[in-house]
Structure 1
Amino acid sequence: MPSALDRIRVGSAPDSWGVWFPDDPRQVPWERFLDEVTEAGYDWIELGPYGYLPTDPARLTDEVTRRGLKVSAGTIFCGLHRGPAEWDATWEQVGRVAALTQAMGAKHLVVIPSFWRDDKTAEILEPPELTGEQWGHLTRGMERLGREVRDTYGLDIVVHPHADTHIDTEEHVERFLDATDSDLVNLCLDTGHYAYCGGDSVKLIETYGERIGYLHLKQVDPDILAGVREGGVPFGPAVQRGVMCEPPGGVPELGPVLTAAQELGVDLFAIVEQDMYPCEPDKPLPIAVRTRKFLRSCGA
């Protein structure tokens, strides 16, 4: 038997049910997601796109509590590298998401940088590399966000490196971490996105362990990824090709990642996210059941 990973709290998210948008006819209804995530054996969930789950705190509390679920985090997207002019729009979004996250008793706000390439059309929206000035806007903006989210809502922000954003590769992730204050900003390490962009999750945990505040568990199919890289395919179509695959069939190996995280000696959420938008409604539950069983075999 593997050793128990007693500092790791495993959950799942609407993403693993093919949910990317607040409202989309190709997504399963939220009631079905909550029923099935419970059936699959998970105790923790994320809110997913704001507006997918009920946004009234009393109603959502009732819905999750009667299924034995708890909420670990909410999520926002932002483009703070564009400078102070972005702040008001960012804070308006934060206000909605963070208030609901706080009301649900969660302690984390996952922050995803905005995409430089449209994830549907492949249109290049911005250069993939930031200027020095833009890096300054990004790092100072994230520190301000971390401070104000903590002061206003009592939440910690965890910044999520993501494919087709400016925080993606090992070089960019390390530059971001080196330029930000660990008291204000830490990382949501998504093992799939980091592998997609060429990074080594175990190495990052071992090198920047004090900055790892949250985990998303995900794997990449290396053969599909090779074709994606060769063809310059944007993230959305890459997902439709199946680039994010069911564990344990891809990379990185999740057992060593979870062991490295356990060795940090702190409590960490590890939320399963297998991007599958769009998918057939009957596809997610069997995968979720198998994935939960696999993670138990790793000790989680």
Structure 2
Amino acid sequence: MNNDIKLATCPCSWGVWYPEDKEQPSWSKFLDEAKEVGHSVIELGPYGYLPTEIDRLKEELYLRDMSVCSTAHMSDLIVPDALLRIREDIDKVCPLLVELGAEYFVFMDGDELYPHPMDRNLNLSQWQHVISVINESAKIVKEEYGLEYAFHPHVSTCIENEHQIIRLLNDTPSEYVNLCFDTGHHLYTGGIPEDFIKNYGSRINYYHLKDMSRYVLDKVKQEKLSDNDAFEMGVMVPLGMGNVDFKSVKEAINATGFHGYAVIEQDIYPDREGLAKTYARKNLDFALTMGLGNK
């Protein structure tokens, strides 16, 4: 077991993608079940899902002996006023993170403005705009709030595949911008997670441990379905049940000397069959057995 890596969980593993949604469990159920499973560290999830009044949130976490490592925040990068919008979000979210003793701010591009996969291949002007927004927002996060910025490449966005991720790394300074590396998303978009970690591990400061089923993905491609269809069909499966080679991933992470957080994540939406807690327990047991981190 790698004692330098702290395992955590997040609301999306309970089917939480939005601040409010009738398909989602209550925030208290998420916290209670995460604790029951064995987790002591969480991400906050979308702003507004958990209580945003700091004393209330601190009390709820204290009652469960839990702490917060980050939040995973999504906002559109390609819109003209992207930096203004993200600045407003940062000024709401980051004070909470600081008060809670969190260390990271995880950010990902919005995934609803690219109706066709070709729309994700930005022209030079669009790319320069996106990079400028990332660099400026990361600087705000680091210099004004003292948090580490971790950019999360994400399916259905303008920075999803390995080529785009490497371009991002080449165009951003490591003192401000590093990666939240998601093993499932990377495999989904055609990359080999362990190889990327070997080559670019020095720019990864945060992990999302996720598994992906090539069987489901192949079916999605054969039927020409969308990424949203893939997620609703359960393309992201419990750890060890898909095609991510976690033995090789662990070896690659250990070789980089990484120490920090690895958030066990399984994208479920909605959790109509009530399997989130069962999956979360299996995922944590798998991660511990594999020596991917500790509780």
TM-score band by shorter chain is over 0.9
The aligned residue for residue 51 of structure 1 is 48
**Length-normalised TM-score, structure 2:** 0.94
Helix, strand or coil for the counterpart of 1:208?
helix
**Where does residue 24 of structure 1 map in the other structure?**
21
Aligned partners of 1:126, 1:103: CA distance in 2, in Å? Answer: 41
In structure 1, the partner of 2:140 is 148
Deviation sequence 1:245-293 (CA, Å, 0-9, x none): 0110102122321332122223121101101100126311111111111
**Residue 171 (1) aligns with residue 154 (2):** no
Question: Aligned Cα RMSD in Å?
Answer: 1.7
Letter in 2 for 1:254: F
Alignment-mate amino acid for residue 11 of structure 1: A
CA contact (8 A) 1:6 1:262 kept: no
2:236 aligned with 1:244:
yes
Please report how far the alpha carbon of residue 7 of structure 1 lies from its aligned counterpart in structure 2 after TM superposition. 1.4
Q: Which runs of 5+ in 2 are unaligned?
A: none
The CA deviation at 1:240 is 1.2
Hey, what's the Cα distance between the residues in 2 that align with 1:54 and 1:126?
Answer: 38
Q: Is the 8 A contact 2:82 2:133 kept in 1?
A: no
Q: Measure how far apart 1:80 and its partner are.
A: 3.1
Q: Which amino acid aligns with 1:16?
A: S
Report the more deviating stretch, 280-289 or 269-278: 280-289
Aligned length: 292
Q: 1:211 aligns with which of 199, 203, 207?
A: 203
Shift in Å, 1:204: 1.1
| Distance across 1 between alignment mates of 2:209 and 2:117 | 28
TM-score by length of 1: 0.92
1:110 aligns with 2:99: no
Is 1:95 matched with 2:91? Answer: yes
Q: 2: CA distance between counterparts of 1:29 and 1:184?
A: 35
1:286 is aligned to: 278
Aligned to 1:86: 82
1:34 to 31, 36, 49: 31
SS of corresponding position for 1:137: helix
User: Secondary structure of the equivalent of 1:183?
Assistant: coil
Please report how far the alpha carbon of residue 125 of structure 1 lies from its aligned counterpart in structure 2 after TM superposition. 9.8
**Partner deviation per Cα, 1:144-187 (whole Å, 9 max, x = no partner):** 11111111111111110110001111111111111111111000
**TM-fit CA distance, 1:117:** 4.9
Work out whether 1:233 is the aligned partner of 2:225.
Answer: yes
Q: What is the alpha-carbon distance in structure 2 between the residues aligned to residue 212 and residue 62 of structure 1?
A: 32
Q: Secondary structure at the match of 1:42?
A: coil
SS at structure 1 position matched to 2:71: strand
- What SS class does the counterpart of residue 30 from structure 2 fall into? helix
